[in-house]
Amino acid sequence: MSIRIACTLFVIISFANLNHAMAQINGFTQPYREIDLASDETGSISTLNVNAGTEVKVGQIIARLDDGVQKLQVEQASHLSHSTSALESAKKTYEKRQLITERIRELISTGHATDSELIRAELEESIAQANYMAAQENTIGHEINLRKAELMLERRLIRAPFAGVVSKVHRRQGEFLSPLKPELVRLVQVDQLLAIFNIPSHQVKSLHQDQPLIVAFHDGTETQGTLHAVGVQTDAESGTVEVKILLDNQAGDMRSGEQCYLDITF
């Protein structure tokens, strides 16, 4: 069984060959991905770097929300994280108390110190040790708070999750993003397209994943794609199954929304 893809507004079945019949099935192209890019952060848009039609790369900054408070939080957390005075002071105190305790032990052996003095020195040493450990824990806490503050600042940036084209801008600079209206722009991925066909269920059995197929357009052009997905359900009314064919559009020659057709021989 051989398969050829094409899209028209009707289905034609030919019985010129007694052993084979051909169906010509219409379809259309759509973006590989299309999302309304939003943010779970609220605030006014301080900068907007794109317009409708702007091409963006993955990770590119689309917009920035007001981040004055977050910058101050990073500055404060950074100062505390890099401050070592409390840790150094606690360390030196602990080391000094260790020397005092050891010295008293030596004096006891020569009869120049009492057991009560040793007990007091060991108690003060243990307190100094606890203070030193607390200072170390505080230092770790400051480092964690710095990473948290940096993350909160980064969340004020809205980045492109994939390379694509901005098809629509929902909000402009100075507008407020809220939980009720978090959408910023509509982003579509068109370096790959999907050709969508509704194929009779009995013809779908011959298709398999990644199968090469030829998609044709009404201007006479053709392109080879691969079978991307076959629907798991048959539409009860039409008796067809949705089939998606992946098309490479790196050159940008094809447009989303174009009609295409698929020829199937069976």
d(CA 232, CA 132): 64
pLDDT of residue 12: 40
pLDDT of residue 203: 83
**Tokens read off for 114:** 């009492």
d(CA 203, CA 205): 6
31: β partners:
193
Q: Give phi and psi for 131, each to the nearest 5.
A: -65, -40
Residue 52: band (very low, low, confident or very high) from pLDDT cuts 50, 70, 90: very high
pLDDT of residue 202: 84
pLDDT of residue 91: 95
- Is 170 exposed, middle or buried, given 0-12, 13-18 or 19+ CB atoms closer than 10 A? middle
The domains of the chain are located at 13-44+187-265, 68-154
Please give the average per-residue pLDDT across 173-191, as a whole number: 94
**What does each C-alpha distance from 232 to 13, 201, 243 come to in angstroms?**
25, 10, 10
CATH of 13-44+187-265, one of 1.10.730.10, 2.60.40.10, 3.40.50.2000, 2.40.30.170: 2.40.30.170
Residue 252 has pLDDT above 80, yes or no: yes
pLDDT of residue 82: 93
Please give the average per-residue pLDDT across 233-256, as a whole number: 92
d(CA 61, CA 241): 39
Q: Give phi and psi for 133, each to the nearest 5.
A: -65, -40
Cβ contact 223:250 at 8 Å: no
Please give the average per-residue pLDDT across 86-91, as a whole number: 95
Residue 24 has pLDDT above 90, yes or no: no
pLDDT of residue 94: 95
d(CA 230, CA 215): 16
pLDDT of residue 10: 39
- pLDDT by residue (tens digit) across 113-144? 899 999 999 999 999 999 999 999 999 999 99
pLDDT of residue 21: 59
Count of H helices and E strands in the chain? 4, 13
- Higher per-residue pLDDT: 207 or 139: 139
